[in-house]
Amino acid sequence: MKSDHADGIVARYYESCEDGSVTCTLCPHRCRLAEGRRGLCRSREARDGRLVSLAYGRVCALHVDPVEKKPLYHFHPGEMCLSLSAAGCNLSCRNCQNWSISQVRPEDVDSTFIGPDMLPSLAARTSCRMVAYTYTEPLTWMEYTVDCARACREAGLQNILVSAGYVCEEPLEDLLPYLDAANIDLKSFSDDIYRKISHASLQPVLRTLGKMRDAGVWLEITNLLIPGVNDDPGMIRAMCRWLADNGFAEFPLHFSRFFPQYRMQDVPPTPIATLRMAEETARGCGIRYVYLGNV
Ligand code: SF4
């Protein structure tokens, strides 16, 4: 469905370059874009010397989900949350579950315009006290996420982010004051694997976790274990030690089972024994709440 915002809004996070191009400062990719070009997330475009977010308000998925589906197990268990998404992602994971809405341009999927001020009444109609920004990467439509989170907070609702956490500091700081809970997908504890599988890097994700912890956001962390990719016991131990040593021992850690997806059809499902090994490793490192997902 076409909307008033189908042409996008001027983005908040970019720098103008002398040659007329723009540099997006939203995520660590820092895409430098010539006129008419799109960033890696497919939803931010250089136009007339400015950067435009084409995903703003173009909601392509809207559901009422149990909060446990995010997954958040220690944040209002048993309640439902209004969950929404716009198209786009700044990662390109070969195992993406939601590739049909994350690895596409906003105009490639059906969408309905939902302004931030419309969300509180939608939440009330669906009896939800929480709104989740989820399914794709809400940080790539940050302007919309921040505006929605602010409107929902002012209406007495709580905000949940489900994200890979690959974002620059300044935009994240705009969102943190409105955020109540987040599930962050920590994809591995190796920069090399991040680059190979997701076209991203590890350190910005760890920084995001730290900033959320410091801001008092309730955090739960998901680690999808993919056979032969990120299931090395030594790496899992290093990740769990880092979490325990950096103040995350009381935040739930979800090890999730992989099933063949998208561009990883040739990789088998994660053996249950691998998930058990990871669970024991995490407990041995002092992580207090460890859960297995997709089993
Ligand atoms: S948010 Fe998108 S356009 Fe901006 S730097 Fe990241 S991938 Fe590039």
**Could you tell me the distance, in angstroms and rounded to a whole number, from the CA of residue 6 to the centre of ligand 1?**
19
Bridge partners (DSSP) of residue 59 are 86, 112
- Domain ranges for the chain: 9-53, 58-293
Amino acid of residue 65: D
**Could you tell me the distance, in angstroms and rounded to a whole number, from the CA of residue 259 to the centre of ligand 1?**
28
Using the 8-state DSSP alphabet, how is residue 197 labeled?
Answer: I
- How confident is the model at residue 28, as a pLDDT? 98
- How confident is the model at residue 2, as a pLDDT? 42
For ligand 1, atom 5, the nearest C-alpha belongs to 30
Report pLDDT digits (tens) over 152-200: 999 999 999 999 999 999 999 999 999 999 999 999 999 999 999 999 9
Dist CA 89 CA 138 (whole Å): 8
> Is the confidence at residue 68, as pLDDT, over 90?
yes
Ligand 1, closest atom to CA 30?
5
- CA–CA distance from 283 to each of 49, 185, 247 (Å)? 52, 19, 15
Q: How many helices (H) and strands (E) does the chain have?
A: 8, 15
> Is the confidence at residue 52, as pLDDT, over 70?
yes
Judge whether 31 and 19 are in contact, CB under 8 Å: no
**Could you tell me the distance, in angstroms and rounded to a whole number, from the CA of residue 8 to the centre of ligand 1?**
15
Do the bridges between strand 181-185 and strand 112-113 make them parallel or antiparallel, or are there none, so unpaired?
Answer: unpaired
Average pLDDT, the chain: 96
Classify 203 as helix, strand or coil. Answer: helix
Ligand 1, closest atom to CA 33?
3
Dist CA 275 CA 295 (whole Å): 9
For ligand 1, atom 6, the nearest C-alpha belongs to 27
> Is the confidence at residue 215, as pLDDT, over 70?
yes
Q: Quickly state the pLDDT bin for 5 (edges 50, 70, 90).
A: low
For ligand 1, atom 3, the nearest C-alpha belongs to 39
Judge whether 132 and 180 are in contact, CB under 8 Å: no
Using most ligand atoms within 8 A of CB, pick from 24, 51, 93 the residue to mutate for ligand 1: 24
Dist CA 208 CA 206 (whole Å): 5
Report pLDDT digits (tens) over 108-125: 999 999 999 999 999 999
- How confident is the model at residue 3, as a pLDDT? 46
Ligand 1, closest atom to CA 88?
2
Q: Once rounded to an integer, what is the mean pLDDT over residues 35-56?
A: 97
**Could you tell me the distance, in angstroms and rounded to a whole number, from the CA of residue 244 to the centre of ligand 1?**
31
Q: Which two three-digit tokens encode residue 233?
A: 């016991």
Rg (CA), the chain: 19
Q: Once rounded to an integer, what is the mean pLDDT over residues 264-281?
A: 97
Classify 112 as helix, strand or coil. Answer: strand
Instruction: Please name which of 226, 262, 259, 260 lies closest in space to residue 100, comparing C-alpha atoms.
Output: 262
- How confident is the model at residue 32, as a pLDDT? 98
Instruction: Please name which of 248, 207, 246 lies closest in space to residue 27, comparing C-alpha atoms.
Output: 207
Q: Once rounded to an integer, what is the mean pLDDT over residues 44-69?
A: 97
Which CATH homologous superfamily contains domain 58-293?
Aldolase class I (3.20.20.70)
**Could you tell me the distance, in angstroms and rounded to a whole number, from the CA of residue 18 to the centre of ligand 1?**
19
> Is the confidence at residue 214, as pLDDT, over 50?
yes
Q: Once rounded to an integer, what is the mean pLDDT over residues 201-213?
A: 98
pTM for this model (two decimals)? 0.96
Instruction: Please name which of 257, 255, 258, 243 lies closest in space to residue 290, comparing C-alpha atoms.
Output: 255
**Could you tell me the distance, in angstroms and rounded to a whole number, from the CA of residue 254 to the centre of ligand 1?**
28
**Could you tell me the distance, in angstroms and rounded to a whole number, from the CA of residue 43 to the centre of ligand 1?**
8
> Is the confidence at residue 6, as pLDDT, over 70?
no
Q: Once rounded to an integer, what is the mean pLDDT over residues 24-29?
A: 98
Using the 8-state DSSP alphabet, how is residue 38 labeled?
Answer: B
- How confident is the model at residue 7, as a pLDDT? 79
Q: Quickly state the pLDDT bin for 266 (edges 50, 70, 90).
A: very high
Instruction: Please name which of 225, 238, 187 lies closest in space to residue 209, comparing C-alpha atoms.
Output: 187
Ligand 1 pocket at CB < 6 A: 24, 26-27, 29-31, 39-41, 44, 90, 140
Using most ligand atoms within 8 A of CB, pick from 90, 91, 102, 139 the residue to mutate for ligand 1: 90
